[in-house]
Amino acid sequence: MEQSVDTQMERIRRGAADIVPEEELRERLEESVKNDEPLRVKLGLDPTAPDIHVGNALPLHKMRMFQDLGHHAVFIVGDFTATIGDPSGQNEMRPQLSPEEVMDNASTYLDQVGNIVDMDEAEIIRNSQWFGEMKVEEILSLAARITVSQCIERDDFRKRLDRDQPVGLHELFYPLLQAYDSVMVESDIELGGTDQIFNILMGRELQRQMDQQPQIAVTNPLLEGLDGTEKMSKSKGNYIGILDEPADMFGKAMSVPDRLMEKYLILATDLPMDRIEELTSEDTHPRDAKAELARAMVARYHGEEAAKEAAKEFDRVFREKKIPEENIDEATVPDEMLEDGNLASPLDLLTEVTGYCDSRSQARRLVKQGGVSLGMDPDSFAKLESATDDVELQDGIILKKGKRHFCRLHLP
């Protein structure tokens, strides 16, 4: 190991919510340095959705940091556990995914993980390798190692039971299965969000019972989304995707609530801590700090050059009130959607033509909130007043959704 234990501890502590137990981690690192033997750092992710956002990428960056420190990354693809559904942080039972849905998600998941983790140096294992072969008697033997009272100690289950909401028996198995992953790969450290602490500590207990050195938990805080309240989630629409285009990522980052600036700077960028202290001091204007946050986030996923171009584009569109030179969408309105040659439904434009909304109800809400405009140039943009009235179109007119999405519409 090239870096001292103190240096490693300093880097591990950045953005960490829990290190359990911290003194044991230091001892394990000292032993690792002394013997020049890397620690096995485990991260398990269930591919329950096809895309990764900045929030659920946080433990991936922590894993990459451990790789940079010289440790060994063990990445568990939870293709078996994903069919159960992690109950962590859930106030209701998750719908179960089919194996086919899980595999479809996993195929894109690993490509995205490779944007952060050095996959050539990582050990990648699917937990169906052992769970798929388990016999009923082996599962029952494993289940005998924990009690029902231990399982329902977790807040998620207690709250649901207090509200007379169902807790599936299969959900009680989830923490045990995640714990058994740790036994199978003999992990020294397990990473995850704070909502995973129960599962990770169960892994520690199961390893102890099975005569392994128990793993250490290193968790990161959960990152609130752009609404500033709910945990970042694609389903809530408050997310920044790691595959978002640079200009779109930059624009989203500029809308991060002021009170979350420090948290985003620490967790979602690679900026040094002394620079973060400068950006969050009274000497730095909040807008300048937010612009640096946006540049740093884009640079993390797309590189410095893309970050510079995204900053220029943002200034062009939002400060100079111009239409973006690049990344403006183009779409043709089908003839069957037109009435009298140039009238069309705004709901059709938002759902079928541009794809800016997933449903007509979402499109209706967006119009009602004043989030849709039409015009030939910035000076002529006018907000749509109604989701039910047809709008008059002309070839080349631009539909604007929110502040960042522009689509030039063409007539057939």
pLDDT in tens, the chain (412 residues): 668 999 999 999 999 999 999 999 999 999 999 999 999 999 998 877 777 999 999 999 999 999 999 999 999 998 888 888 766 655 555 566 777 777 777 778 888 999 999 999 999 999 999 999 999 999 999 989 988 888 877 777 778 888 888 888 888 888 999 999 999 999 999 999 999 999 999 999 999 999 999 999 999 999 999 999 999 988 788 999 999 999 999 999 999 999 999 999 999 999 999 999 999 998 898 889 999 999 999 999 999 999 999 998 888 777 666 667 666 889 999 988 888 777 888 899 999 999 999 889 889 989 988 889 998 877 778 889 888 888 889 888 999 888 778 898 998 8
DSSP 141-152: HHHTTS-HHHHT
Three-class SS state of 235:
coil
Question: b/e string for 164-185 if b means 16 or more Cβ within 10 A?
Answer: eeebeeebbbbbbbbbbbbbeb
Residue bearing tokens 């609130």 = 224
> Which domains are assigned to the chain?
5-220 (3.40.50.620), 246-319 (1.10.240.10), 329-410 (3.10.290.10)
- DSSP letter, residue 81: G
Q: Alpha-carbon torsion 102, 108, 114, 117, what sign?
A: negative
Question: How many Å apart are CA 173 and CA 206, to the nearest integer?
Answer: 13
pLDDT at 27: 97
Residue type present at position 174: Y
For the CA atoms of 89, 92, 98, 102, the dihedral, rounded to the nearest 10 degrees, stands at -20
Q: Judge contact between 68 and 37, C-beta under 8 A.
A: no
How many Å apart are CA 68 and CA 29, to the nearest integer?
A: 14
| pLDDT on residue 341 | 72
pLDDT at position 181, please? Answer: 97
What pLDDT was estimated at residue 146? Answer: 87
Q: Give the phi and the psi of residue 45 in degrees, each rounded to 5.
A: -130, 130
Q: How far apart are CA 204 and CA 216, in angstroms?
A: 7
Could you tell me the pTM of the whole model? Answer: 0.77
In angstroms, the CA 377 to CA 383 distance is: 13
Q: Which pLDDT score is estimated for 3?
A: 84
The answer to whether the CB of 241 falls within 8 A of the CB of 226 is no
Provide CB contacts within 8 A for 270, sequence distance 6+. 296, 299, 300
Amino acid 375: pLDDT? 87
For residue 411, what are the contacts with CB-CB under 8 A and spacing of at least 6? 332, 333, 338, 341, 342, 393, 394, 395
Q: What is the rounded CA–CA span in Å between residue 227 and residue 75? A: 31
Query: Which of 400, 386, 394 is closest to 338 using CA atoms?
Result: 394
Q: Which residues contact 363 (CB under 8 A, 6 or more apart)?
A: 346, 347, 350, 351, 356, 357, 387
| Kind plus residue range of the DSSP H or E element containing 306 | helix 304-314
